[in-house]
Amino acid sequence: MSILNKYFNTTYNTAPFSKIKTEDFLPAFKVAIEKAKSEINAIVNNSEVASFENTIEALDYSGEELDRISSIFFNLNSAETDDAIQKTAQEVSPLLSEFSNDIMLNEELFKRVKAVYEQKPELELTTEQETLLDKKYKSFSRNGANLAEDEKEKLRDIDKELSQLKLKFGEHILAETNKFEMLLTDEEDLSGMPDGAKEAAKQLAENKGKDGWLITLDYPSYIPFMTYVDSRQLREKLSKAFGSKGFKGDELDNQNIILKIANLRHKRAQLLGYKSHAHFVLEERMAKTPDNVHNFLKELLEKAKSASEKEFQNLEKFAKDLDGIEQLQKWDSGYYSEKLKKELYSFDDEQLKPYFKLENVINGAFTVAKKLFGLHFEEINTIDKYHEDVLTYKVIDDSGNLVSIFYADFFPRSGKRNGAWMTSFKPQMIKEGQNHRPHISIVCNFTKPTKSKPSLLTFNEVTTLFHEFGHALHGMLANTTYPSLSGTSVYWDFVELPSQILENWCYEEETLKLFATHYKTGEIIPMELIEKIKTSATFHEGMQTLRQLSFGMLDMAWHANELPETITSVKDFETKAFAGTNLYPEVKENCMSTAFAHIFQGGYSSGYYSYKWAEVLDADAFEYFKEEGIFNKTVANKFKAFVLSQGGTENPMTLYKRFRGQEPKPEALLRRSGLLK
């Protein structure tokens, strides 16, 4: 009996979290892998001549059961993990890596795919089918199908080791985050900290049976402390703890792990005929080559460098005049930036937070989605959750048709990694005439409600929620035939467009008046504060841009490197990569690479530049909305029709031009950032 039929006989075919035990996963994976293998064998052993339907289409629909189990398991490993799940992940990952290679290195299967590919000019395929055929053929050729047998074995070994190393990297970061606690028993040490953050720290200590105030490396604890606490010594302590994750030379050290990852990725790329891992990755990106990425980053660096240096000098002068600080350090950044912003604009985040109660912001995001795309969100409590904090919704359109199931998980806990992300529990596809709707999730780490206050968000958290919700809309509104082309399955440097464009609505009066109401009085956010949000939007934009560019440059330094085996010191290598973007003095105890999960655990290797790349797209796209009205249905329908619903069915620039009528212009981003002279 199919695992999906046995366990997933649920409302809307949702994941049956309450029925699944951790020990169920390994046997379930083994059964699903065997089933997927039999589906592949059926394609290979088909006596009929290879066709698009019996080979390419059949291949894309194969492994559905395995994909569902994988999505549930690895999402839990990110959002609700424990030792048992992590142990299972280490056992499962090599099995999945081996299975993936079994497919990609299957000569008979590749022959059938190649036979269809060579017929392409004679086949009457839709645009989506052509894209799928190209993608399937390239997935084989780019993953070793043309290699000799001994080289295929080398590739298998590399992939197996990489899958385990990436997991171990993430486990170390989570363990480091959970391990650090700073218990303060003297309230004077919290001088400057807002009452809400102080209360949260008190409650955190109480929850662990301790007296005092507990500070951790989770963002809702870390950020307020670094932004507001007057004690420079304690800020330094916390900053160094945060910045030294995976860099202490102990059992949780990641230095050797990332050296191995960089070397294995390079060996893999060379085995496949590429100069570097970046050359391999970027072949399937809008940017195409490492040179194009380097030139893009360099061009933005030239625009941002002088502005960032001027901003830094002003910040240095401000700190010196205020507190006699002779040399600004990294742990001074948030603290003095917030004070300077308050002086320049006569407001700070604490004034804004009462207007951003989490529930109101969620409803704000839903209202924007309704006004733009005709979506309605109904909270439902009849489906399983993996944690009691998770909120669940049914999403329908104006006609009452099911669009998606939506999960939202907002608060930090020990089994959850830091940061914010969007993911999926079930993909969208059209199969046997039925449009299977997706199950989408967003995961964040916002401040939990306390005894006296609800969860009140900083403005940065508001934009984070809208950002992840933008990714979610990309998943929810997917409307493609094939699962591998659906939703966010697009070129990596296009995937951030739907998320980043949605952030723009957070700065608009028309939007803020929909949901930014004081949690006590119900008063709509005053126009004066809206103006301050807008005028302060470009505050320290030069420094922020420089920071983002430095991360992209570090990523490219690791992955466009043609001699990674010569790297002996992670710290020295990183310092050299950051040389052109440093404003603050180097901190010898800290290393970013050892905790850079985006590129060593997630999917952003050779792709971190895409955040800035997508900013060019989103700034240009939002100018179109501004010209016609930010809730203009015609523009919104075009964005939905040509971007959000199309997934990876066509080249992203083709889709963008269909929406916008032109290629994106970087001037829009420079205008928005205040960097255009």
Question: Any idea which residues carry the catalytic annotation?
Answer: 468
**Contacts for 294-300: CB closer than 8 Å, 24+ residues apart:** 294/556, 294/560, 296/609, 296/612, 296/613, 297/549, 297/552, 297/553, 297/556, 297/609, 297/612, 299/666, 300/545, 300/549, 300/612
Closest CA to 312 of 584, 553, 550, 580: 584
Compute the distance between CA of residue 221 and CA of residue 447 in angstroms, rounded to an integer: 8
Compute the distance between CA of residue 636 and CA of residue 614 in angstroms, rounded to an integer: 18
Both ends of the chain: CA-CA distance in Å? 66
Residue the block writes with tokens 């430095």: 550
1 by Cβ neighbours in 10 Å (0-12 / 13-18 / 19+) ranks as exposed
Residue the block writes with tokens 């990755």: 281
- 3-state secondary structure (DSSP) of residue 590: coil
Compute the distance between CA of residue 612 and CA of residue 602 in angstroms, rounded to an integer: 18
Kindly state the helix (H) or strand (E) to which residue 556 belongs, with its residue range.
Answer: helix 541-559
Compute the distance between CA of residue 87 and CA of residue 569 in angstroms, rounded to an integer: 30
Count the neighbouring beta carbons within 10 Å of the beta carbon of residue 460. 13
Residue the block writes with tokens 């310092």: 575
Count the neighbouring beta carbons within 10 Å of the beta carbon of residue 616. 21
Closest CA to 33 of 85, 112, 97, 81: 97
| Residue 101 · residue 159 · CB < 8 Å | yes
Ramachandran assignment for 71, one of left (phi > 0), alpha (psi -120 to 50 degrees), beta (any other): alpha
Closest CA to 351 of 458, 221, 509: 458
Count the neighbouring beta carbons within 10 Å of the beta carbon of residue 451. 8
Closest CA to 606 of 546, 646, 559: 559
Compute the distance between CA of residue 217 and CA of residue 335 in angstroms, rounded to an integer: 17
- Phi first, then psi, for residue 596 (nearest 5°) are -80, 75
Compute the distance between CA of residue 465 and CA of residue 169 in angstroms, rounded to an integer: 26
| Residue 218 · residue 182 · CB < 8 Å | no
